[in-house]
Amino acid sequence: MSFTDRLTAIRTGFSSSFWIANTLELFERVAFYGSKAVLAVYLATKVGLSDDAGKLAGIFSGVIYSLPIVAGVFVDRYGFRKTLMACFLIFGVGYFLIGLAGLQFGQSIVQVVGVYPYTLSVLLLTAVGGSLIKPCIVGTVSKTSKPDARAFGFSIYYTLVNFGGALGPIIALMVRKDLGIEYVLIMSSITSALLFAGTFLFFREPEDVDETKAEKRTFGKVFSDMLLVFGNFKFIIFLIIFSGFYLIFWQIFYLVPFYGTEVLKFEDFELLETVDALCIIFLTIPMTALVSKWKPINAIILGFTISSISWIAIGALGTIMATVVAIGLFAFGESICIPRFYEYVSKLAPKEQIGTFMGFAFLPVAIGSFSAGAVADWLRLDYLSTNPSMMWYILAGIGLLSTVSIFVFNLIAPQKSQD
């Protein structure tokens, strides 16, 4: 798409609901990644759950990325506006309750329930509410974009997601240093409350800008789709293997903060966490264009390999600059790998069921998050104070093992995507 075509698409390709939805998404990502940036450290140092901080943070993200398919039923049944308002309402309450565990006046409540069960409960509540946002925003982008501008519309959406991912940790840093780490969660709660008000005042139920009508989702349909997809073992095996990428990705939030503060003695750990999103904003489009003529599997393997070996630089050099460069290198591999991953997955799916199967393409993010939390706790508790370099070598090994597994998988079960 030429520059002139992009300007035309901006002027005529989207309805007003498109821009409102993307604005809401931007600030929701600021709230989410702001809280995500400090969550593991907050749980370990402020709430007192050091042994389980990574696992709990992993459960939080894992549930958020596990439920969007089910959440889509609520969008079809109650509409985008009501579902989005419910999301922000639950987010607002949930973030506040998470923050309550670190506030002095909340201790009487927390102690009655018990620190661990209270924290797990409010994390699950917040995550369930958060799972509603993806079908709302992505669905609105799709419905409010003209067919010839839809790809550009999703690129705008993805850019704003990453912009929020970069801005959130920076704001979290300022709030943590000025008020305290628990107030980062309160900041996310207040932001969610404002987003609830913004949705009520400005967001209107989107109407299709073309004649395409999507099939209504029901719980019965979701269940039948699950049986269909999970019955395709090749598809599921690939998603499980690829979850290794997200296992090492989530360590930016689960391990880097502890490594930054305890080993590098760099207290502003949120700045390290924002490097990936900043790099992705600038790298995704040019790198996708650069490898556009490659076979998807080759781009996936190259990108995965680069992201995996990036962690070796942290272990070998052990400096702040090496950590920044390593995360930037990780983002470089991510920008090559992830866009082609979705293309490869679409070719794994049966031709007549691509839509159904692509709805499950987020599963590696969820599986990776669940496993990353437990792995982070293991590495942090066993190696952070004794041999911190080993943490990064192990992560690189996990990533490279997953990469080799993808290579072997493609040899054993070559896909039509390689034709």
Same domain, 97 and 127: yes
CATH number of the domain at 330, please: 1.20.1250.20
Query: What is the tally of structural domains in the chain?
Result: 2
Q: How far is CA 109 from CA 32, 115, 118, 120, 182, in A?
A: 25, 9, 9, 14, 16
Q: Are 248 and 344 part of one and the same domain? A: yes
Nearest to 270 by CA among 364, 394, 172: 172
Q: Is the pTM of this model over 0.85?
A: yes
Residue 3 lies in a domain: no
In this predicted structure, what is the pLDDT of residue 304?
96
Using the predicted structure, report yes or no on whether residue 252 has a pLDDT greater than 70.
Answer: yes
Specify if 302 maps to a domain: yes
Query: With contact defined as beta carbons under 8 Å apart, do 271 and 169 qualify?
Result: yes
The dihedral of CA 156, 159, 161, 166: what is its sign? negative
181 and 261, same domain (yes or no): no
Asked, for residue 1, whether it belongs to a domain, the answer is: no
For residues 26 and 157, state if they share a domain.
Answer: yes
Whether residue 139 is found in the same domain as residue 23: yes
Domain for residue 2, yes or no? no
Which pLDDT score is estimated for 418?
41
Token pair of 283, please? Answer: 């790298």
Position 199 scores a pLDDT of: 95
Q: In the block, which residue shows the tokens 């419910």?
A: 86
| Backbone φ/ψ region at 31: left (φ over 0), alpha (ψ -120 to 50), beta | alpha
308 and 391 together in one domain: yes
Within a domain: 210: no
Q: Look up the domain containing 297 and give its range.
A: 232-414
- Specify the pLDDT at position 209: 55
Q: What is the mean pLDDT of residues 389-399?
A: 97
Does residue 181 fall inside a structural domain? yes
Residues in CB range of 389: below 8 A, 6 or more apart: 314, 315, 316, 318
Given pLDDT bands bounded at 50, 70 and 90, which one contains residue 417? very low
248 part of a folded domain = yes
In sequence order, which residues have a C-beta less than 8 Å from that of residue 244 and are 6 or more positions away? 368, 398, 399, 401, 402, 403, 405
Residues 271 and 161 reside in one and the same domain: no
Are 374 and 298 members of one domain? yes
> Is position 98 within any domain?
yes
Q: Are residues 133 and 264 in the same domain?
A: no
| 286-296 exposure pattern, b = at least 16 Cβ within 10 A, e = fewer | ebbeebeeebb
- Do 221 and 291 lie in one domain? The reply is no
Whether 183 and 66 map to the same domain: the answer is: yes
Decide: 417 and 297 in contact? Cβ < 8 Å: yes
User: pLDDT tens for residues 289-334?
Assistant: 788 788 889 999 999 999 999 999 999 999 999 999 999 999 999 9
d(CA 195, CA 188): 10
Kindly report, residue by residue over 100-153, the tens digit of the pLDDT.
Answer: 999 999 999 999 999 999 999 999 999 998 888 888 888 888 788 777 666 677
Distance between CA 297 and CA 310 in Å, rounded?
20
